[in-house]
Structure 1
Amino acid sequence: MRDQVTDHQKVNILLVDDQPAKLLAYEVILKQLNENLVVATSGREALEYLLRNEVAVILVDVCMPELDGFELAAMIRDHPRFQKTAMIFISAIQVSDIDRLRGYEMGAVDYVPVPVIPEVLRAKIKVFTELYRKTRQLERFNAELEDRVRARTAELEESHARLLESEQRRSLAIAAGRMGSWDWDWANGDWMWDEGQYRIFGVDPKSFAVSPASVQARLHPDDIEELRKAMAQFAKGVTSYEAEFRIIRPDGEIRWCVGTAAATVDKGGRVVRVSGVTIDITERKHAEERQNLLAREVDHRAKNALALAQSIVRLTRGENVKAYVQSVEGRINALARVHTILSLSSWQGAKIGKLVDEELAPYATGGQITLSGPEVQLQPATAQTLALALHELVTNSAKYGALSALSGRLALKWAVDDDLLTLAWQEAGGPLVQEPISKGFGTRSVIASIESQLGGQAEFNWRPEGLICRLSVPLSRHLSEPEHDPHPSAAHG
C-alpha cells in the first residue's frame, strides 16, 4: 500500500546521471526545495531504487552508457506503479528532433536545456513535486470518503436501533456542513430532513416544505431522470443505491453530492421506509478538475516550449559551428528567462519592466543603457515574442552597434496609447552605421515575429549615428500561444 504524503512530508526526487559532478550540481541547485534528493549513477541503479521506493519526480540525463535516458524511461513506463511518474530529461537541446519526439513518447513530461538555469530547474521540479503531493492527498481524501459512504450504507441497512446510533455519528459531519440525512415514509409520503440536509441544499427549514416536487425543483435537470429511476427500483425489490448528482441552490450555485439510500421492508418484503445520506463532494470535484487542468497545462507548456526551441535550432545561422552554438544558446537562454518570469505568475502574463531588465541585464553594467516607460502586463505569447525580439536587438548591438563601444549609448522607451504598445530602440555614439544591403537573420526574425505572431509592426532606421528601431504591438488582441514556427517568414529570407 502506498505511503500517504502530508503537506509537510518530504518526497523523493531521483537524480539519474553517470557523471558525479553533474549529480552534485543538481543536488546543490535543488537543495532549496527541501525535498529528499536521491542520486543514481546508472539506469539500472535507478530502477533498483524505484522498485523499493515511491518517487515524485525523476530527473534523468538523456545520454548515459549501458542504459540511456530513453531506454530507462521506456522501462519505467512499462511498470504499472510508475506510469504517471513525472520524468524530466536533461540535455534535450543536444539531441535530434526525432529523439525529442521519442522522449515524449517514452513518457517525458519536460526537457531542461543545457546549460541548466538553476531557477528554471527548481521551478519545474517544484511544480511536479507539488502535483505529486496533491495527488497523493486527493487519493487519501477519496479513500476516506469512500470508507465513510460504505460505512453509512451498511448502517442504514441495519435495524432501527442501529439507525439511531448512526445518527450520533453523522452529527460530526453535519457540524462541518458537508453531510446530511433524510428519511422518507414510503406509505404516507412524509419526509424528514436533518439540519445538514437543509444546509447542503441551501434552503431555510422554516420556509422550505420538503416534498418530491420541491426536492426535484432543486435537482440539476440532467440528473433528475437517473435519480427517479433509482428510486423506482425500491418497488422492484432493490434495497439500496448510491449515486452522484448535482443540486442547484436558490442562489444559483451548483453543488456536487453523492447520495446513498437504503430501504426498510416489512415481513412481507414491502418497502415501508427509505433512509438516506447526502454528502457534499463539491470540493473534491473541483480538486479533480484542477488536477486535470494542471496536467493538461503542463503538457501544453512543454509542447509549446519544444516547438519554440525546435524553430530556433532549425532557423539559426552561423559562420561556423562555434558561432552557431553561441547563437542558439543565446536564443534558448532568452526563451528560458521569459519562461521563468511567466512561471512565477502561473503563466498569467509578464510585466514589461521585468522582461526588459532580464534581457538587457548582461549589457547594463557600464551605464550605457537607459530605460523608461510605464508598467504594462503582457500576455504570455506577447512576452515570449518580445523577449526573443529584444534578444536579437541587444545581441546585434553588442556585436556591431552602440553597445560594442564604450562610448555607445542605448535608450529604450515604451508607451501605451489606445491599447497599442510602442517600443522605441535608439542607439548612438557607437561605430558608424551603414544600412545593410540585405537584412540579416536577426532583423528578419524580429520583423517576422512582431508582424506575423503579434499582428504588430517593426520599423528599422539605419542612421549613420546609430540604429533606431520602432516596435508596435497591439495589446487588446486575444492571442493564443504559438504552437508553430515563431519566425514563419525568416526561413525564406
Structure 2
Amino acid sequence: MTAGDQTDTLPLANVLIVDDQDAKRLALAAALEGLGQNVVLASSGREALRLLLGQEFAVILLDVRMPGMDGFETAALIRSRPQTETTPIIFVTAHDRAEADMLGGYSLGAVDFIFSPVQAEVLRAKVGVFVDLHLKTLTVQAHERRLRELEARAAQAAQDRLRREGERERRAAQREMRKLSSAVEQAADPIFITDRAGRFEYVNPAFEAMTGYARAEVLGQHVSLLWPDDEVVARMEAVWVGLLQGEPYRGEVRHRRRDGSFYHKEKTLTPIRDERGRITHVVSTGRDISDRKRIEAQLVALNASLEVRVQERTAQLEDVNTELEAFAHSISHDLRTPLRHVASFADLLRRDVETHGLPPAVVRRVGIIQDSARRMDHLISGLLEFARTGRQNLRFQPVPLAAVVDEVVGQLAHEEGGRPVDWVVGELPVVHGDLTALRQVVTNLLSNALKYSRPRERIRIEVWGETRGGEQVVHVRDNGVGFNMAYQDKLFGVFQRLHSPDAFEGSGIGLSNVKRIVARHGGRVWAEGREGEGATFSFSLPCPPGGGEAGAAVPEAERVG
C-alpha cells in the first residue's frame, strides 16, 4: 500500500525538514511534493523540537551542519524524549563529511543518510519507505483501536446483557421471595426458622397463634422454650445433633404453649445449607395434631372398654351355648323318650283295634295319634339339626358345586324310585366354603324343588350358576306348585310353611338351615315364584379373594333322568 492509497482513509503523513538554509529546505520540500504528504519545515534544531512537541512525524530530514545546535545535538534531544525516540531520522550531509558524520549519526539512531547535492528520486524513494511504514503503522493502530472499540462495545453489550439478565433474575427472585414470604406468612401451619444454635430468627403468624408467643418475645430465644420436660429436651437435643450432621427429622413432638398448656405437633425439621455447603439454619414446618392424639387416646380407652365388654359378652354367649347344649340334650333325650312311648303304645293300640274289629272312627283316631307322633319326631329332629347348623365349625376350601350337585341328584333320583325327572344342570362355579355345609344347602334346595314338583306329570328342575357384582350366584328353578310372593318373607323362617302338612311333608326347617349356612358364609338367599307356575330359589356367596381355583366354572352339562 502506498502513501497515496491511504489518503482516503488516513490523514496525511507529516515529514519534517530541518535545515538552516532556506534554499536547501525548499529544494528538499520540492523533491517530496510527489509523495503527496504534509511537509513541515524547520530552520533550526530548537524549532524542530518545538514542532515535535505538538505533532507526530513519519520521518525527519535533519541537516547535520547547523549553527547553534547541530543535527547531532538535535537528534540526541529527539531520542531522549519517549514520544519521539522511535521516529526515523535521515541525516542530510555533504560527501566530504560522509564518513565522520555517518559514524556519529548511526550512534544516535539514524536510519539513513542523504548526501548533498540531493537527488530527488533517491530522496523520495527513501522518505517514501518510511512514509509507507508510518501509514501502515497508523493503519495497524487504527485497526487495533477499532478492534479495541469493538471489543469494548462487545464487552459493554455483554455487560449490559448480563446486567439486564441479572436485573430480570433479581426481579424474578424478588417476586419469588415475595411469593414465598407471603405463602409462609399466610400458611395455616406453624413455621419457624432458627440459626444452627437453635435460636429463633423467624416465626410466622400461625406459630404465634398456636403457641401464644408474640414474634418479638421469641426472636433470639432458644427453641427449647417450647420443650415441656426433660424427656423431650433429651430427645430434641439428640435430634439437633443429627440436624447439624445434615439429617432431616420427621416425627411427633409434644410442645408447651405460653400459658403452660400442651399440644402435639407433627413436624419436620430440615437443615439449610449455604452456598459452601455449611449448615447455617434449621427450618421447622408442621401441623397441630392435638385433636388426633385426643381421639387416639379416646379410641384406646374405648378399645379397652370394648375388650372388656367383648369378654363379658363372650362369657355370656358361652353360657347361652351351654344352655343350648343342655336344651338340645333335653330335647334329644328327655322329650323323645315319652314321644317314643306314645308312638309305641299307639302301634300296640292299632294292632288291638285291627284284631278286635273296632269301629272305623277308632281306627282313624289311632292313625292320627301315630301321624302326630311321627310329625313331632320329625320336628324334634329338624330343631336339633337347626341348632347344630349354627354351632358347627366351618372349614373353608374350594368346593366344586358341579360335583356336589351330581352327588345329590344321584341320591334324590334313587329316593324317587325311578320316577322320571328332567335334571338340567348348567355351568356351576367352584366356590370357597365348607363342603359339608354347602352339600346340605344343595340337598335342601334340590329336595325342596323335587317335593313341590311332584304334582306335575313331568318334573323339570334346572340348576345353574353365574358371577356378578363380586358374587357367585346359584339358582334352582322348578316347575312345581310355586308360591304367593306376598308371603316370601316366611319362606326361610323356622317352622314357617306356605302349604299344609297334609299336602307336602316336611318340618319347615330345611330352608331355615339354608339361610343360616349361607349367612355364615357371608352370602344371602332369596326366592321368586308364582302360584301354579313354579319357583326359583337362589343363594350367593362372595367371590374368593384373588380368584385362583375357586371361582372357575365347570363346563356346562345337561342330564335327563
Q: What interval of TM-score do these two structures reach, taking the shorter chain for normalisation? A: under 0.3
TM-score (norm 2): 0.25
TM-score (norm 1): 0.28
Between structure 1 and structure 2, the one with the greater Rg is 2
Q: Which has the higher contact order (CA 8 A, sep 6+)?
A: 1
